[in-house]
Every structure is written in structure tokens, then in C-alpha cells.
Amino acid sequence: MKIFVLNNYPDNPSTKRLVSTGEKRGHQVEVVPYNDLYLHLSDSPNGHDKIYQKGTKLDVKSCDAVIPRMGNNLAYGLYVLEHFVGNMKIPSTSSPKGLATAANKFLTSQKLSQNKVRIPKTIFAYKPESVDFLIDKVGGLPCIAKTVLGSQGVGVMILETKLAANTCLETIYKNDIEINLQQFLEANGKDIRVIVIDNEVVVAMERTSNKGDFRANLSKGGAGKKIDLTDKEKEMAVKAAQAVGLGDFAGVDLIRSGENTYCIEVNGNPGDGIIDITGVNYYENLYKMLEKRQKEGNKAEITAQLATPILSSFKEHYPYGTTIISRLKHSWQKIEVQPYVKIAANSKASWLYKDIHSENFYWYDDTNFNAENNGLVLLKT
């Protein structure tokens, strides 16, 4: 596969590791700085949109998938990703909408709450009249203040006294900075980073904050170790990633506090420090997911191509409805095809077989189906 990595720093060690992992799996991986891209929209309704890289047309047709690794200038990066995914129809490991949701801490909390994922008490307001009211609604002091936008622990503060809270929040609101307040969860300075890929937990790491800091982010000097999650925590992590639209790839942050586990954040661009600490290179899982999706897409396309002439031959006689199932490479692919056709029932069989190498059709009972025969398109009655 040819894969574009959308990242502005080709020489970053994390980017280099992502590229080398893909190359070792036999892929052609190219880092494309998204800040250098120009997005062109055609006046044709048939879709002739393009992408240019510093004035030179980018060969998007040769690209099989993109992996967005966007940190700085995310707003423009999301326009670029939408162009790849929506306009150019290139698969991506992350959706633009999912990344936009994850980048907004309060919107993330809203999505988590909507999907019944346990989160800390949270409140968000625009220039509130009473700071005391907000603090009370999240359980009092100490509480956590988070700027709506921010990552790697930046923009996260702990408010421990009334004087500090009033002074800090007054300054923030006067400067039109969007911030939400969140319940402080006692967890001995620890949290959990979970990597979710293809709607499954790949690896989990417990992080411990540096002495003198309540934030456990590795980028803030925290330490980490590989841990096992409970089944409920695995389910929570996957559900949280799916809630923001990033079930294919996300870093989910959990906190164990008291008898409960809470989800505190979903990250659309998780770092790879967890790889060094746990020894699990989750980039491998990213490529495996893309490889699997490509195989599934190819099989579905082949199935549709084989099924079309067969449908046409029955269209005039049986203009009703059925489902087409294809046996390809020992795996089932189910597709919906228009127009639907209905094959007349046979009292001695429930399947009609079409030999793709001839014009012959055969009725067989299910029990007589030869599972080793891959050269068949099946029409189920």
C-alpha cells in the first residue's frame, strides 16, 4: 500500500518510527506536511477536486490511505483531512469530525456523557456571574480547570483555594478564554493511557505524575508502566473512543478513583512514549487495520463485479428482492445490490449456484455445499 502520513515534522522521532514500521511491513510510506498543501475545488459537479503541494499537483490517486498525525495548526489540518476523505475518497485512520471533537475537551465530555461513559462532574459557562456556583456544582475545592483546547497537559490547572480560584478564573473569563471546571478525583497522582485501534484495546499504561505536579502526562515528566485493564475498563475505553468518532484510533485516558473508573479525556493524536515503556508498537496495529480494510474493500468490489451480470440475466423474470452472498477466498462477503431480484424457490433446494466460468446455474441443498469451491457467486432465496 502507498500511505500518506499527514504530519508537519518529517524528522520527528515519532514520525520516523511510524514510517519505518510501515516500510518494514512492505508499504510505501510518505510524510506529507499538511501546512504545505493547497486544497482545490473544481467547478465540475462530477468531482475533479485536487490537492497541490507547494504548487505541484499531489498524486492522490496513487494513495491507498492516510494516517493523520496532527498537532500544531490542527484547524487547517482538519480542512486537509476532510479534503482527502470527503472530496478525494481516501480512507483514513481517523475521521475529521472525530479529531475535531477530541480536540475540544468539553465537546468530548458531552459525547462521553451522551454515550453513558462515566466522567467526572463537569460544568461549562460563558462569563458566569458566580464562580462559587460553578465550583459547588463540581464538588467544591480542589477542582480542575481545563481550557477547552489543549493537549499534553497544557491548559490544565488545579484550583485548591477560594482566593486562587477566584483570581485565576476572573482573569481567564476576562480574556475570553473558554474553560470548563471538573471534579477533582483522588487517584494518588495516577491515570491510565489506553490505546484503542480498530475498536479494540491494544495496550494500556499507568502513568504517575512527577513530584510536585498533579498531571501524569509523560510530556510533563511523569513515569509509566504497562498494566492490564479489567474487562469493564476495556469496554469503557472502546466505548469512549467510539463516542467521539475515533473507534479506529485513539488514546483514551482513564482514572481509577475510589470504587469507580472515570474517562477524563480522549486524544486523537496520542504520543508514542507508551511504545518505549510497554514494548508494544501500536503502529503495527494501525497498519494491520489498513491492510485488513483494503482486503475487505477489494473483496467487496470483486463480488459486485461478479454479481452484476447474474442479476441482469434474472432482472426481467424476477423483479423482486434478495440478498447476494459471495464466497471469495474462504470468507463470506455480504453486499446489497440494486435492483433486487428474487429467484424462484425450488422444492429440493434453498440455494442457486452460478458457475462463473460458464453459463450454467445449479440448485443445491445447503448440506451439499462444497466449502472449498471459491469460484461461485451465490444468490440466496
Torsion of CA 5, 239, 293, 94, to 10 degrees: -20
H-helix or E-strand containing 323? strand 323-328
Cβ atoms 249, 81 nearer than 8 A? no
Pure H helices in the chain: 13-24, 74-82, 96-103, 105-114, 131-137, 162-174, 231-243, 273-278, 282-315
List, as one string, the DSSP characters of 107-130: HHHHHHHHTT-----EEE-SS-S-
Bridge partners, 195 (sequence order): 203, 251
Q: Residues 274-331: pLDDT tens digits?
A: 999 999 999 999 999 999 999 877 654 444 444 444 444 444 433 333 333 333 333 3
Rounded Cα distance between 244 and 46, Å, is 32
The string of pLDDT tens digits covering residues 115-161 is: 999 999 999 988 887 889 999 999 999 999 999 987 766 788 999 99
Query: Domain boundary residue among 92, 126, 152?
Result: 92
In a domain, 16, yes or no: yes
> Which amino acid, 66?
V
Task: Give the C-alpha distances (Å, rounded to integers) separating 256 from 3, 233, 347.
Answer: 38, 10, 61
CATH of the domain at 29: 3.40.50.20
Mean pLDDT of the residues in the chain: 81
pLDDT, average across residues 99-116: 96
Q: Residue 364: inside a domain, yes or no? A: yes
What band does 231 get if pLDDT is binned at 50, 70 and 90? Answer: very high
Classify residue 333: in a domain, yes or no: yes
Domain that holds residue 343: 295-380
In-domain check, residue 121 = no
Which of 46, 61, 92 is the last residue in one of the domains?
92
Find, among 286, 266, 110, 245, the residue nearest to 192 by Cα. 266
* pLDDT band with cut points at 50, 70 and 90 for residue 222: confident
> Model pTM?
0.77
How many structural domains comprise the chain? 2
In a domain, 219, yes or no: no
- Distance (Å, rounded) from C-alpha 204 to C-alpha 2? 29
Boundary (domain end) residue, out of 92, 114, 134: 92
> Is the predicted pLDDT of residue 337 greater than 60, yes or no?
no
**How confident is the model over 239-266, as pLDDT tens digits?**
999 999 999 999 999 999 999 999 999 9
User: Is there a domain that residue 231 lies in?
Assistant: no
Q: Strand 2-6 to strand 65-68: parallel, antiparallel, or no bridges (unpaired)? A: parallel
Bridge partners, 331 (sequence order): 328
Residue 112 lies in a domain: no
147-175 as b/e: b if 16+ CB within 10 A: bbbebebeebbebeeeeebeeebeeebee
pLDDT, position 176: 87
Residue 8 placed within a domain: yes
How far is residue 239's CA from residue 323's CA, in Å, rounded to a whole number?
Answer: 31
- For residue 72, pLDDT beyond 80: yes
For residue 76, pLDDT beyond 60? yes
Does residue 359 carry a pLDDT above 70?
no
Instruction: Say what the pLDDT of residue 45 is.
Output: 87
Alpha carbon distance 282, 111 (integer Å): 25
Tens-digit pLDDT profile for residues 174-220: 888 889 999 999 999 999 999 999 999 999 999 998 775 665 556 55
